Chains A and B, each alone.
Chain A
């Protein structure tokens, strides 16, 4: 990541500084060598060309390095990289600061160099040196004449016809005080007494030829260890005697010094032009090398100094682009370094804050998802409204209970929702009222379902806590229609049980009393009274029978029976029931259609039989009341493979249900039949519910229709066993 890249740059920078210091040291050494060589130092003069070459190479290298640095700097500038403006300006200042003084020093040095070198070559100095040399020569020649006389004297005393043999030469050498005495001819040196100084050329033939007998010629000759005086004296027959005399060392040394000074000056005079050129060259080279080095260093320093600025700018950009937590390499412990440290801390803090914000957001999301899941699985409808009365959320149960697609209308206000569906207008009205009222409320209300049936809702609402002030409303509601129904049924069951109990007890005595009365008074009364008795007791017995059956029916309804479950062939039951009615009810036709295969039911066969009887009797009664008709019974399998149902529909073409009765068709004592107990359908419903089934009554086009759905057993094999 970004942080890593910046961190990696650190060691590079440190080594960069190190190796620049090294280069600087090397350059200084090279320049020092060059200066030493230029100044005719013995040790370096031999390496002059090499050192010059090294310096030239260094210069070339510096030019290349500077060029690269410059190119980088200007490329960064043209690409408008972070910190490049500051770097360019800083580099400009530094270069200016380096170049100007160096140039000034260079110009002055150049001037001094020229005038300085010229001042060495004073004409007077040259002349006096020449004079000094001449003076030395003269003084040496003065020194030579006594030696000449000594030699000629010694020779003269020996020359009287004597052959100049080795002995004679040695004698002459000792007498004259010479170092060596040699007899030379045109053919060369013949014989020598003493040690002949090395390297001195023999006298030239011309010299020998010129030399007359007895004539002497002297000269000063250089030898390896100083100077000697040579005296040539002509002998008879063209030969010559050559003698060398030592010169006192103090004279010789001084003469040597004069000669050295003269030579040195002569050398310098000859080198005047070359010296100036080579000094100029050296100076220029030194200048250029220093200058290029300064420029190179200036560029480097500019980049180095602006590095924190560049890093800061890059880091700021990175943070602005969302890369929180970007860390910059920490620089030196100065103000810029402090700034970088502060930036790093700020960046870290931002990253941390963002991280925790993210975490809490994720937690909120998580909570929300959980809440939503819980709400979705809730059987109660939950609706939330925002502070402005707009719909914020609604769960599946809310949609199911209200039977409208609420979730397609998020943000809709209550008024809009009201317009959407007039059926629920009272509901929304009530909600709007309550919303503006108490913070917490609870009540029961009645709405109209999509099928037109009334539904009872238990609604409660509460204000939600907001960030400031009220923050909307939550409304929770349950469909308690079924609950109310069940309550009512339970109440009826209780009534029926008590009624049956209270009424059944006196019925038998009443019946027995009436029968006894008839029996006792039979024949005791005459005429009309007898008839009255007979009729009255008949009525009593008959009515008591009716009441008994009624009471039994009540008892039946109220009894909490035990189910005797087994596999039931519902098709067989249907056929049996239809067969019974088909023959016993005149004027009514029974049609049975069964769509095979019907799932096997698990239930109580007696009760199911009774259920069918009740349904068929109701239908046939309806038809009989209308003066005949047709009852259609159809059975077919419905439902999913894992939950199979049998749907049994019983239709008649009678008058149908009375509209006022229909909603309470399955409640006890609701009947339109003159002789009905009003318990037929309630019992049907009860049996259906005992079998986990459902029942529904409605009016079809021709008459009444009751649809019964019973679940098949989950595993058919179980029933067989």
Chain B
């Protein structure tokens, strides 16, 4: 019965506070149009994990951190802007007890680190994530780019999702970092 009560309260809390507590901070970000006609994201992000989450990672629970980039073309004559494209990239963090290494898997390649901090630092240096390919630069002129990164609660083990719904420790993410491309 207590669980039900807590669940209900949490639902209310989740609805009330949709924005996660800001434990990740984006320092700098830009979209670079490469010579191969690819738009790449380059960013510097400060990742920091609360002790409880670090403990979970060390206990062998994999964490997923997502980076989402949305490019909008503002429309003055409509309520919503036109979304040109949106890309979301997941990174999986995992501890491997046998070799005592931390593994960072961005879906394309795995990197191994000796410590959590070095892994987080490496995570923060975002270079060369392809956001779009073959998009005319003129179409993106003056577009608004939004960047956000956060810990994905949905990808936690289900039991933890329940407590993640309840505890603010697990709602980790950055605010939207917004900038405009040059005209």
Contact assessment for A274 and B97 in the assembled complex, using a CB-CB cutoff below 8 Å: no
Contact assessment for A259 and B96 in the assembled complex, using a CB-CB cutoff below 8 Å: yes
Contacts of B66 in A (CB 8 A): none
Q: How far is the CA of A416 from the CA of B109 in the complex (A)?
A: 130
Contact assessment for B98 and A220 in the assembled complex, using a CB-CB cutoff below 8 Å: yes
Centre residue among B11, B113, B114, B162 by max chain A CB count within 10 A: B162
Contacts of A256 in B (CB 8 A): 98
Q: Is B45 at the interface (CB under 8 A from chain A)?
A: no
Name which of A97-105, A193-201, A645-653 contacts chain B: A193-201
Q: Is A133 at the interface (CB under 8 A from chain B)?
A: yes
Q: How far is the CA of A271 from the CA of B158 in the complex (A)?
A: 10
Q: Is A137 at the interface (CB under 8 A from chain B)?
A: yes
Contact assessment for B160 and A259 in the assembled complex, using a CB-CB cutoff below 8 Å: no
Q: Is A266 at the interface (CB under 8 A from chain B)?
A: yes
Centre residue among B8, B112, B158, B162 by max chain A CB count within 10 A: B158
Contacts of B160 in A (CB 8 A): 271, 274
Closest chain-A Cβ to B1's Cβ sits at a distance in Å of 7
Contacts of A140 in B (CB 8 A): 98
Closest chain-B Cβ to A143's Cβ sits at a distance in Å of 13
User: Which of the residues A40, A48, A56, A274 comes within 8 Å of B7, measured between beta carbons?
Assistant: A56
Q: How far is the CA of A281 from the CA of B101 in the complex (A)?
A: 35
Contacts of A279 in B (CB 8 A): 159
Measured CB to CB, the nearest residue on chain A to B4 is: A284
Contacts of B11 in A (CB 8 A): 53, 56
Contact assessment for B157 and A267 in the assembled complex, using a CB-CB cutoff below 8 Å: yes
Contact assessment for A201 and B4 in the assembled complex, using a CB-CB cutoff below 8 Å: no
Contact assessment for B101 and A221 in the assembled complex, using a CB-CB cutoff below 8 Å: yes
Contact with A along B33-61 (1 / 0, CB 8 A): 00000000000000000000001100111
Within 8 A of B (CB), among A32-57: 37-40, 45-49, 52-53, 56
Contacts of A220 in B (CB 8 A): 98-99
Contact assessment for B114 and A201 in the assembled complex, using a CB-CB cutoff below 8 Å: yes
Q: Is A227 at the interface (CB under 8 A from chain B)?
A: yes
Closest chain-B Cβ to A165's Cβ sits at a distance in Å of 29
Q: Given that A222-B101, A270-B61 are known contacts, is A200 also in contact with B112, CB under 8 Å in the complex?
A: yes
Q: Is A128 at the interface (CB under 8 A from chain B)?
A: no
Within 8 A of B (CB), among A207-228: 219-224, 227
Contact assessment for A278 and B60 in the assembled complex, using a CB-CB cutoff below 8 Å: no
Measured CB to CB, the nearest residue on chain B to A36 is: B158
Contact assessment for B59 and A201 in the assembled complex, using a CB-CB cutoff below 8 Å: no
Contact assessment for B96 and A266 in the assembled complex, using a CB-CB cutoff below 8 Å: no
Contacts of B110 in A (CB 8 A): 198-199, 223-224
User: Which of the residues A222, A263, A277 comes within 8 Å of B162, measured between beta carbons?
Assistant: A277
Within 8 A of A (CB), among B130-161: 153-155, 157-161
Within 8 A of B (CB), among A116-137: 133, 136-137
Contact assessment for A199 and B109 in the assembled complex, using a CB-CB cutoff below 8 Å: yes
Contact assessment for B98 and A267 in the assembled complex, using a CB-CB cutoff below 8 Å: no
Contact assessment for A281 and B158 in the assembled complex, using a CB-CB cutoff below 8 Å: no
Closest chain-B Cβ to A160's Cβ sits at a distance in Å of 35
Within 8 A of B (CB), among A259-301: 259, 262-264, 266-267, 269-271, 273-275, 277-281, 284-285, 288
Contact assessment for B1 and A284 in the assembled complex, using a CB-CB cutoff below 8 Å: yes
Q: How far is the CA of A266 from the CA of B1 in the complex (A)?
A: 28
Contacts of A221 in B (CB 8 A): 99, 101, 112
Q: Given that A199-B110, A219-B99, A220-B98 are known contacts, is A48 also in contact with B158, CB under 8 Å in the complex?
A: yes
Q: Given that A259-B97, A266-B60, A284-B1 are known contacts, is A278 also in contact with B162, CB under 8 Å in the complex?
A: yes
Q: Given that A221-B99, A222-B101, A267-B157 are known contacts, is A262 also in contact with B60, CB under 8 Å in the complex?
A: yes
Q: Is B28 at the interface (CB under 8 A from chain A)?
A: no
Closest chain-A Cβ to B125's Cβ sits at a distance in Å of 14
Centre residue among B55, B101, B159 by max chain A CB count within 10 A: B159
Q: Given that A222-B112, A270-B55, A271-B157 are known contacts, is A277 also in contact with B98, CB under 8 Å in the complex?
A: no
Contact assessment for B61 and A267 in the assembled complex, using a CB-CB cutoff below 8 Å: yes
Contact assessment for A201 and B111 in the assembled complex, using a CB-CB cutoff below 8 Å: yes
Contacts of B165 in A (CB 8 A): 49
Q: How far is the CA of A259 from the CA of B94 in the complex (A)?
A: 12
Measured CB to CB, the nearest residue on chain A to B166 is: A277
Contacts of B114 in A (CB 8 A): 201, 204
Contact assessment for A271 and B98 in the assembled complex, using a CB-CB cutoff below 8 Å: no
Closest chain-A Cβ to B59's Cβ sits at a distance in Å of 4
Contact assessment for A133 and B97 in the assembled complex, using a CB-CB cutoff below 8 Å: yes
Query: Interface residue tally of chain B, by bracket?
Result: 35 or more
Contacts of A47 in B (CB 8 A): 154
Contact assessment for A46 and B112 in the assembled complex, using a CB-CB cutoff below 8 Å: no
Q: Given that A199-B112, A201-B111, A269-B59 are known contacts, is A38 also in contact with B98, CB under 8 Å in the complex?
A: no
Contact assessment for B112 and A136 in the assembled complex, using a CB-CB cutoff below 8 Å: no
Closest chain-B Cβ to A97's Cβ sits at a distance in Å of 23
Contact assessment for A262 and B99 in the assembled complex, using a CB-CB cutoff below 8 Å: no
Closest chain-A Cβ to B55's Cβ sits at a distance in Å of 7
Q: Is A255 at the interface (CB under 8 A from chain B)?
A: yes
Contact assessment for A270 and B109 in the assembled complex, using a CB-CB cutoff below 8 Å: no
Closest chain-B Cβ to A574's Cβ sits at a distance in Å of 119
Q: Is B171 at the interface (CB under 8 A from chain A)?
A: no
Q: Given that A46-B154, A199-B111 are known contacts, is A277 also in contact with B97, CB under 8 Å in the complex?
A: no
Measured CB to CB, the nearest residue on chain A to B104 is: A199
Within 8 A of A (CB), among B1-42: 1, 3-4, 7-8, 11
Contact assessment for B161 and A49 in the assembled complex, using a CB-CB cutoff below 8 Å: yes
Measured CB to CB, the nearest residue on chain A to B163 is: A274
User: Which of the residues A136, A222, A255 comes within 8 Å of B103, measured between beta carbons?
Assistant: A222
Contact assessment for B3 and A277 in the assembled complex, using a CB-CB cutoff below 8 Å: yes
Contact assessment for B101 and A274 in the assembled complex, using a CB-CB cutoff below 8 Å: no
User: Which of the residues A37, A53, A223, A255 comes within 8 Å of B158, measured between beta carbons?
Assistant: A37
Measured CB to CB, the nearest residue on chain B to A47 is: B154
Contacts of A278 in B (CB 8 A): 158-159, 161-163
Q: Is A258 at the interface (CB under 8 A from chain B)?
A: yes
Closest chain-B Cβ to A319's Cβ sits at a distance in Å of 52
Within 8 A of B (CB), among A136-164: 136-137, 140
Closest chain-B Cβ to A228's Cβ sits at a distance in Å of 10
Q: How far is the CA of A542 from the CA of B95 in the complex (A)?
A: 181
Q: How far is the CA of A198 from the CA of B163 in the complex (A)?
A: 36
Closest chain-B Cβ to A256's Cβ sits at a distance in Å of 8
Closest chain-A Cβ to B133's Cβ sits at a distance in Å of 24
Contact assessment for B96 and A274 in the assembled complex, using a CB-CB cutoff below 8 Å: no
Measured CB to CB, the nearest residue on chain B to A197 is: B112
Contact with A along B74-111 (1 / 0, CB 8 A): 00000000000000000000011111010100000111
Q: Given that A199-B110, A274-B163 are known contacts, is A266 also in contact with B99, CB under 8 Å in the complex?
A: no
Measured CB to CB, the nearest residue on chain A to B122 is: A201
Contacts of A277 in B (CB 8 A): 3, 159, 162-163
Contacts of A263 in B (CB 8 A): 60, 95-97
Contacts of A219 in B (CB 8 A): 99
23 A-B interface contacts by CB (under 8 A): A40-B158, A40-B159, A45-B158, A49-B161, A52-B162, A133-B97, A136-B98, A140-B98, A201-B111, A201-B112, A201-B113, A220-B99, A221-B99, A222-B98, A223-B110, A259-B98, A263-B60, A267-B60, A271-B157, A277-B163, A281-B7, A284-B1, A284-B3
Please report A residues at the B interface, Cβ cutoff 8 Å. Answer: 37-40, 45-49, 52-53, 56, 133, 136-137, 140, 198-201, 204, 219-224, 227, 255-256, 258-259, 262-264, 266-267, 269-271, 273-275, 277-281, 284-285, 288
Please report B residues at the A interface, Cβ cutoff 8 Å. Answer: 1, 3-4, 7-8, 11, 55-56, 59-61, 95-99, 101, 103, 109-114, 118, 153-155, 157-163, 165
> What 8 A-B pairs are tightest by C-beta distance, nearest first?
A263-B60, A270-B59, A274-B159, A259-B98, A266-B60, A278-B159, A278-B162, A275-B159
